[in-house]
Amino acid sequence: MERFSRTAVLTFDRPPAHVLDATSLRELATQLDALEADRDISTLVITGAGERFFCAGDDLNMYDGISPAVARELTCLLAAVVTRLHDFSGLTLAAINGWCLGAGLECALACDIRIAERHARLGLPEGRVGLLPCGGGTATLARQIGRGWAKRLILCGETVDVETAERIGLVEQSVAGGESLPAALALAQQAARQSPTALAATKRLIDASQGAALTKALASERAAFGTLFETADAAEGVAAFLGKREPVWTHDRSRNR
């Protein structure tokens, strides 16, 4: 793990394809717990080492010869990582620097924003080995790109290039080779100007609004504004704007978890 100011960068680094085994999934969950508790971190970026792979998914060796009960336990390890990424109260970005498949794509889908290099390819090909996405892929992919494209990727085992991924909304930005991490860090720097307290509250509202009735979403927004107005960051933000200075945030995300 590296740190750039208030941004942490977690790198998949298990050559050659950075596949995930039980040990690496446990380590990721532990690191994510520590980062969530760290008030000096407001943004998280995940990426892959090298130039070819972001993460090619689960290490199939860990499924060889095991019982269904053990397989279910292993899926819980991936679910724990994906849940921690999704629930991280700060901004999360996936800097997709190469092949992004299976559990790798599910981790990217759990992030708030995905930036992909133009040579990357993305997909959920688990059906080719008699399995299915077990890190939220069947639910999150359909919400992200619609049921038709989600079925095409999953049921046909299709991988898409970044041009297609950007067109269908699977990634938010495409960049040249080697530029995904710098682009993610630039966005992280923009986010660092926001109040971490406000960012956490707003992120939760956006996620909760998906599928919710508009009247309920608007009521939640008003309630969250009132709660946020009671925080030190709200007073500081207004005072800094009126005083024409940069705000000094408390960096306390816990008020809005």
Strands (E), 15-149: 43-48, 53-55, 91-96, 99-101, 113-117, 121-123
Q: Which residues are catalytic?
A: 106, 126
Distance set, CA 92 to CA 154, 173, 229, 236, 250 (Å): 24, 14, 24, 25, 20
Q: 3-class DSSP state for residue 175?
A: strand
Task: For residue 3, list its beta bridge partners.
Answer: 8
Number of neighbouring beta carbons within 10 Å of residue 218: 12
Tokens 């970005």 sit at which residue? 93
Task: For residue 47, list its beta bridge partners.
Answer: 11, 95
Cα 27 from Cα 138, distance rounded (Å): 25
Cα 9 from Cα 11, distance rounded (Å): 6
